[in-house]
Each structure stands twice: as structure tokens, then as C-alpha cells.
Amino acid sequence: MLDFDQETWLYLAIIAAIFIYFRTNSRRAKIDRKNRKNRNFRRRYLERRKQEKSEETFQEKNKP
């Protein structure tokens, strides 16, 4: 069916290895981007919550 010589099979194997490497690297980068986005979201949320709590305590202390 596929009657390639040894050199052609070697080239095909190299091309396949490069393709697999870039494919897995792309998937890993996508997961890292998603994790970074979630981490940044949580950080902003916690900062906002901390700021709101400090404003509440400030207002309670300054009530007449």
C-alpha cells in the first residue's frame, strides 16, 4: 500500500513529532491562560471584597 523508503518514513516521523509537540504545547498554553484568568479574577474579587469591608468598618467607626 505505502511503499516508502526508510528516509521518507524518517521524515514523516519527524513531521509527526513536531506536529504532536506543537499540539500539546498549544493545549498546555490554553490551560495556563485559563488558570491565569481565573487566578486574576479571584484576586480582583478578594481585593474588592476586602476594600468593601474596610469601607464598612470605617463608616461604622465614624457614625455619630
In sequence order, the 6+-apart residues with CB closer than 8 A to the CB of 12 are 4
Does the structure show a pLDDT above 70 at 60?
no
pTM for the whole structure: 0.48
13 contacts 5 by C-beta, under 8 angstroms: no
| Pairwise CA distance, residues 18 & 37, whole Å | 28
- pLDDT at position 62, please? 66
What is the band of 56 on the pLDDT scale with cuts at 50, 70, 90?
A: confident
- Residue, of 10 and 28, whose pLDDT is higher: 10
pLDDT tens digit string along 16-35?
999 999 998 888 888 888 98
> Cα(57)–Cα(53) distance, rounded to whole angstroms?
6
